[in-house]
Structure 1
């Protein structure tokens, strides 16, 4: 027999092993953890972590989910329009005999409603003259200004995983402070009076929002509860101020209202007196650019995003989480305060009352969700909701459809945005990969 090694023999085989067998390798022993290195799972904040995870899932979705949510909301709104139309209900009684009458009635009801909304929000082809035809678009942009500012205020808080539900209170406080400056000081030139009113409104909004952030940072109070309660505090504080003649209004009034704004404190119209579009929309565009820069190009934006992704990891990396909470809520409050300024110095210049925000404080939540808390997305969502608001009045006037239908559509958008799995299931989209 040959003494040459067989093909299966490998150098280093232990004596006694069969040829070709791999050597037995024992797994390395796991290192023992010192007592100081033992990691104890903290389950005290499981509910908060789950809520923040849900918020991140909603906010981090792609643009397609937002478009589909709007489409589903408009579709459901179309069904409601058809169901409430008298002609549709009448033709439904003999739909089996003449289905064409029913289908034509449904089409006329839906197309009539949305074409009226388009005429009231974008372009009115039923009037003469380019100025009158494009006037609806300027109304849309006018309504979009405070919605964009409010959406930015809510959205930047969302990026830090903070539920800023206090938009109404921050708008009321900021708007009330700006209104006081707007009518109290007389004789100031516009170059001084207008910036002063704007800055005061932003500062008071920032202080009101920062109060919620400070309570969150110092005491761990949940921002949802704090901001909701501050809404009521802000509302009744301004109501009390409106009953004091040395603050905002004349005492003893059933519906207290402040005096009208001075001409030197009113936001000027950007396209002339024939349009209602004022400088507030330009301020909203500037705010979009500033928030985009903060979130994507600044160290503060990195800290905000890091805290929003994982506050525990951010704290471990040296980021002061409490300070970040306070600062981001101050920025959010300043933006919402600027939205209140937009209202009192640009839209409601004849005097303000406790309904300064006109529901925008809560609509801003929808705008932020639809815009995925991205500045450009919030800009688009704010214009869309401004179109809903401007076109809703025309739809009600020409088609006798309640303007409350717009609120239903907005609520449905929130519903579909808050349920991404539902949207994916309806359109059979692939599941979103975990990041």
Structure 2
């Protein structure tokens, strides 16, 4: 009996496994709206907005904790939690409502002209902040940290004030000369730091800090010395009143404090925008700020850029001092004329991301905080220091973008939308 081997089935012909559905369907590119939303979510502007919102939220918590009614109702919170919630809402909403009415529009005043006055006060406070912020922001773009705003403002205010009360010139010309003289004083004072950095490599932070002290004590001495800045016949360290021919005009009438300096701040914003985005000098500024070594190899005189940047920066900060003297404190000024604006300008520049129009908006925001903070304190009894805390928190969140992105679950700037990768199958070899 013979064994018959069963015949094996024939091996299938070599064939490729059909690709799955992902390979047959065309991968559609993201829509225009998806791309736009992703750019907004990963951009710097949204970080600035969210930083302000987070700071206001933390400020609301502090307002609630410092309110007496909230503290009283918190004692029996577990018995009647609704009372505490109502007290928190009343304290926070009342404080921020007072902040709005003190900085934007006061609904309690009769008529539109009276109600809009808080907005004019906001713009008045914002004027020196915008000018000084532009100066600090321009220095940032060149890779320099100009924290000598106080000294530059004091020197500019002294020069502009001296021209304003000591010179006799026709109306209009007197104001122009005072403005130019003050800006020149601020430019030369800041130029010292730029020149030392260019020639000796001295760090501008140390130099500008020292120049702040020198300017403060120099101006204080001149204010106590008859024949220099001190008013004749006065023992107080204060200058004479600015002459009417040099005082900034009130652009909306005598019933409002908003003066010509705000228009100068707008012009300064436009000029800085043009310098940074349309001029050859601005291109060199940004090249030096990105990589000074590469800029040097490309033929840019880096040392000259440092000097030019500090001169322009000082002139802009000096414009803030001029606005204080010729627009706000026209009855004479003392050594506190800078009012902390030189340091607030750093915050404004950071919030504005060192862009001219960003600084313009940030200056108005901080002007609103200044104008509304006093109203919030007077109407609701909220300490005005909370506004300073909110401003500091804005800087904190601006300086930590990953923290803001983590809180709001925003994508990082380098992330991209994941695309489906098709599965490629190999041919199955016949055995």
TM-score, normalised via structure 1 length = 0.84
How does 1:172-321 map onto structure 2 within 5 Å?
A: 172-186=154-168, 188-250=169-231, 255-321=236-302
Does residue 391 in structure 1 map to residue 372 in structure 2? yes
Change (3 A) 1:76 1:263: same
For CA contacts below 8 A with separation 6 or more, give which structure has more relative contact order: 2
> Looking at CA atoms only, which structure, 1 or 2, has the larger radius of gyration?
2
Select between 252-261 and 123-132 the one with higher mean Cα deviation.
Answer: 252-261
Native 8 Å contact 1:242 1:251 kept in 2 = no
Secondary structure of the structure 2 residue equivalent to 1:270? coil
By how many angstroms is 1:185 displaced? 1.2
By how many angstroms is 1:144 displaced? 0.6
| 1:322 aligned residue | 303
Change (3 A) 1:61 1:352: farther
How does 1:153-164 map onto structure 2 within 5 Å?
A: 153-164=135-146
| 2:403 aligned residue | 422
| 1:49 aligned residue | none
TM-score, normalised via structure 2 length = 0.85
| 2:13 aligned residue | none
Native 8 Å contact 2:133 2:349 kept in 1 = yes
Does residue 364 in structure 1 map to residue 358 in structure 2? no
2:153 and 2:222 map into 1 onto residues whose CA distance is 15
RMSD: 1.4
| 1:77 aligned residue | 59
By how many angstroms is 1:326 displaced? 0.4
Change (3 A) 1:273 1:206: same
By how many angstroms is 1:429 displaced? 2.0
Match of 1:110 among 83, 92, 105: 92
Native 8 Å contact 2:224 2:236 kept in 1 = no
By how many angstroms is 1:430 displaced? 2.2
In structure 2, list runs of 5 or more residues that go unmatched: 1-41, 416-431
Secondary structure of the structure 2 residue equivalent to 1:75? helix
2:399 and 2:351 map into 1 onto residues whose CA distance is 10
1:285 and 1:235 map into 2 onto residues whose CA distance is 28
| 1:412 aligned residue | 393
| 2:363 aligned residue | 382
Match of 1:68 among 50, 59, 74: 50
| 1:86 aligned residue | 68
Does residue 168 in structure 1 map to residue 153 in structure 2? no
Does residue 350 in structure 1 map to residue 331 in structure 2? yes
2:252 and 2:64 map into 1 onto residues whose CA distance is 38
Does residue 143 in structure 1 map to residue 125 in structure 2? yes
By how many angstroms is 1:61 displaced? 6.1
